[in-house]
Every structure is written in structure tokens, then in C-alpha cells.
Amino acid sequence: MRIITFLMTFLRTLFTYLLGAIGVIILLSPVIILLLLPKQLRPYKIIFYLLYLFYKLCVYALLMPIEITGNPDLIKLPSIIVSNHQSSLDIAILGMLCKGKKHLWLVLERYKDKFILGFFIRKLFITVNQESEIQAARSLIKAIKTIINDPQYLIIFPEGGRFTDGKVHQFFEGFAIIAKKTGYPVIPIYMENNYRIYPPYTFLIYYNKIKVKIAEPIYMNPQETNDQFSKRIHNWFEKQTK
């Protein structure tokens, strides 16, 4: 029985990687070419639509059942998407939920030098250096200016890393600062099983149901401090784990 389960897992993994490779060739190659154009000439609607198709392909290529609780139509522009982080699968799911609309990721700085991924980060997104308060503050200011001048989704993993214990860890308050400065709502999205499906630093993809819970948009009250708002959002995530 264990051998059969392993073979099924292995074959499903190969199938997923194969479709992912096809997606890179067919969908991401044109994006790379378009991103080489000067900023003012880039057709961002096409770029983000192709990214959406790639995200969707990655999710459905897993051949896993998907359960979405909440209304995806509540994810409207402009807003700040805040999610827990367990796996690189999180990226594909959140990107898919953006439905081809322009979005900006806040990404840890160490990823900007990664092969291929680093190219997209440098061209489209903003990196954050957690080890330097000054540089982190500059990244937040840049993000605020970007989404005010060009309203779009801002996607943040406020835990600042991936965790595979099924718990929601302490949040950095950057998203609260951005919410206060922009007035944009925060949309919490909790993903339950991704660390079981595709744990960090593994090759195999394990069978499990993809579970996504989407909250209604939450606005920061004028009298709330960054810490209070951050804790209010964190409390919502903690309730989803029980």
C-alpha cells in the first residue's frame, strides 16, 4: 500500500512539474520578453493576464480538490491582501485570486538574486530587508507611493517567512502602516493545508485538499494604532486555525 501511495505521489509530482515547465515556456517566456521593454511601453494588462494563467495552471496541475470559503468577488481593487505563509504554493493561489489584475508583492530581499524568480522580482515587485529598519521603511514608503499612484493589489505575508507547523506566527506591522497611509482595506486570506501539500525544500507534492478562507475587507479605524490593527487581523487568522 505504501509503495502504491508513493508511486501515485511521484507520478502526480512529475505531471505537475511537466505542466509547470510547459507553462514557463508558453506563458512566462512572453512575459519575460515584455518586461525587457521600458516601463512606459510595457503592456501590463497582457503581462498580468499571462501571469494569472500561469498561476492558475500551477494550482490546477496539482490535481487536488479545492475548497474556497468566502467570496472571491470581495477581492476588489485597490486592497491589501494579507495571508499566512506555509509554502511556495501560496504564491500561485494568491496570484490566481487576483484574476489577472495588476498586483504588487512585497518580497524578502534574499529572493531578488534567485534565477528567473529574481528577474520578475526586480522588474515588477518590491523587496524588503528585514534586517535593516531603515531599508524596510524605505520599501514600505515605495510600496505606499506605488499603490497610491497606480491603484492595485498589494500582497504581503506578514509573518515574514514560511512556517510548517500549522500555526499563525507573529505579524510584522508593515501592512498596518500601509493601510493607515492609503486607506485601503485589508483582505485576510488563510490557507490551511499548503504545508502538507508542498512543504518547503521538497521535491514531492502530496495529496491533500487545498483549503482557502477569504474574509470580508477589513478597514483600519481612525483611532486604531498599527499594533491594534495588526492584532485584530492576526486574531482573525488565529480563529481559522481552531
What string of H, E and C letters represents the secondary structure of 125-153? CEEECCCCHHHHHHHHHHHHHHHHHCCCE
**20 class by beta-carbon count within 10 Å (0-12 exposed, 13-18 middle, 19+ buried):** middle
Q: Whole-prediction pTM value?
A: 0.95
At 50 the pLDDT is: 97
At 242 the pLDDT is: 79
* Grid cell at residue 208: 491533500
Confidence at 113, pLDDT banded by 50, 70, 90: confident
Three-state DSSP at 186 gives strand
Domains identified in the chain and CATH numbers: 63-240 (3.40.1130.10)
Q: What percent of the chain has pLDDT over 90?
A: 88
Q: Are strands 103-108 and 126-128 parallel, antiparallel or unpaired?
A: parallel
At 74 the pLDDT is: 86
At 131 the pLDDT is: 86
Q: For the segment 155-193, what is each residue's pLDDT rounded down to a tens digit?
A: 999 999 999 999 999 999 999 999 999 999 999 999 999
C-alpha–C-alpha distance, residues 178 and 189, integer Å: 17
Q: Are strands 79-83 and 153-156 parallel, antiparallel or unpaired?
A: parallel
Q: For the segment 218-237, what is each residue's pLDDT rounded down to a tens digit?
A: 999 999 999 999 999 999 99
Q: For the segment 116-153, what is each residue's pLDDT rounded down to a tens digit?
A: 889 999 999 999 998 888 999 999 999 999 999 999 99
Query: CA distances (Å), 150 to each of 103, 157, 210, 227, in order?
Result: 10, 21, 32, 27
